[in-house]
Amino acid sequence: MDQADIEERRDSGSHDITPPEKLICGYHGSVEVVKAGTLAALVEKLTDHDKLDCSFNRIFFTTYKYFTSGTELRELLIDRFNCSPPILNVAQTAEWSTQTKPLIQLRVIYVLNQWLEHFWSEPKGIDTDRNLRILESFAKRATDVTETSATQQLLTIIRRRLAGLDCKRRPLSSTSAPPKPILPRKLEKLQFLKIDAKEIARQLTIMEARVFDKVQRDEFLNKNWEIKESPSTPELAPNVRALIRYSNQLSNWVCALILAESELKKRTQVIGHLVNVANTCHELHNYSAVVSILAGLESAPIYRLARTWAMVTERSCNTLRPLQAMIFSAHNYQAYRETLQVAVPPCIPFVGLFLKDLTFIEDGNPAMTPEGLINFHKCTMLASTIHEIQRLKEAPYSLQPVPALQEYLTIQLRSAVDLHEMWDKSCELEPRGRSLGNRPRDLYTPTGGMLASMVVACMVLDD
């Protein structure tokens, strides 16, 4: 960044800032972007009376737990509301008090509304309840200073939070009626091959969408998904870890289903059925399930089944190829990334690749600059990835749950053993050195665990 592109701006409002605080900005084209700053300067930018920077505010609230706490942020915002004028002459002080300060106060009320309604993720407990009580008292006092609908709205939101009610606006329900479920003849005795592949995909999508919808923004900060729960520390990313477990269980189940069949013909039928499930998941934009199913198909115990793969139908292989191409690793999974960029919600992405990106940002960029400022450029990169995840949650699926099928699938997923325990079973079914007979193995060539390695690299849980 050229020196000419760097602008240092100093605080001119908050009465508790001594010495003046620094904000370092650069430019992306003609747009000013914050690169680094002290916490107080970032809060001043958040409540700037002169200009509302919606992009900055969204990044700040998405990542604020990375560099501060809810208590400290609450204190700084109240201090900002009560700010004193900078050192000015009498006339300038009067002008500041009648024109600038009211705008600052309105901005504080606005950002508090934004925080509590859209970005509030403080844990339940005594400290959070205390912060809300303090904010409630503040909002009552602020009503006397700024008689606006925004102040009344803030008071309403705080009281809803105190009552334990959700303040977020829920996604609009789909206007289209869900498709009628395709039910097997006997729901009491379910067998994988006798359940319609399309309905399996629908129910898997409903199950995973429930978990994906619960994921909170701050679960993606500080590599929280890698931190184990302890008696003294609550789990920091429970929903991300639940998604990881689900993906790994689905991959293991795919492998177990195939190896459960001792007859070669049955194994090829299972593979064909799984391919149809994956293809429907792709049509539903459930890319997470596509990745997990292909990871199971390309796992080492399944990849080595040369005689089985040689008997897989050409139709199944032709269906599988474009799915494999979508998640191919070339150019940092460019094809898959391009698919996600144009995906219209509802959509369930494979979270492992996002975790890989977030880990790269976390490990490759310091939290603080050499001058001791908060590295807001890093926060911007983290927020960009998190915003993309949130975008894909903006619309719900219009699918009808079938409890009997979901119970069957849940039991199946939870009972599947780890891939590492399936190698012996694979070797038992097809001993090493067995020929392919008269069938060539050229219809479909698995990538030899490439996808599974991506799952392992990004989504290992130290349970």
Residues 208-237: tens digit of each pLDDT: 999 999 999 999 999 999 988 777 778 899
What's the CATH class of domain 23-163? mainly alpha
Q: How many residues does the chain have?
A: 463
**For 129-172, what is each residue's pLDDT tens digit?**
999 999 999 999 998 888 789 999 999 999 999 998 877 655 55
pLDDT digits (tens, 9 = 90+) for 338-377: 999 999 999 999 999 999 999 999 999 999 999 999 999 9
Task: Tell me the torsion sign for CA atoms 415, 418, 419, 424.
Answer: negative
Residue with tokens 């099928």: 405
- What's the predicted TM-score (pTM) here? 0.88
The answer to whether 25 touches 2, Cβ cutoff 8 Å, is: no
First to last CA, the chain: 43
Residue 8: CB atoms within 10 A of its CB come to 10
pLDDT tens digits along 85-103: 887 788 888 888 889 999 9
Class of domain 192-346+395-460: mainly alpha
Q: What residue ranges do the domains of the chain occupy?
A: 23-163, 192-346+395-460
Q: Which among 385, 386, 387, 379 has a CA at the least distance from the CA of 37?
A: 379
Fold match between domain 23-163 and domain 192-346+395-460 = no
Could you write out the DSSP letters of every residue in 249-297?
HHHHHHHHHHHT--SHHHHHHHHHHHHHHHHHHHHTTBHHHHHHHHHHH
Would you state the structure tokens that stand for residue 87, as one six-digit string? 């050192």
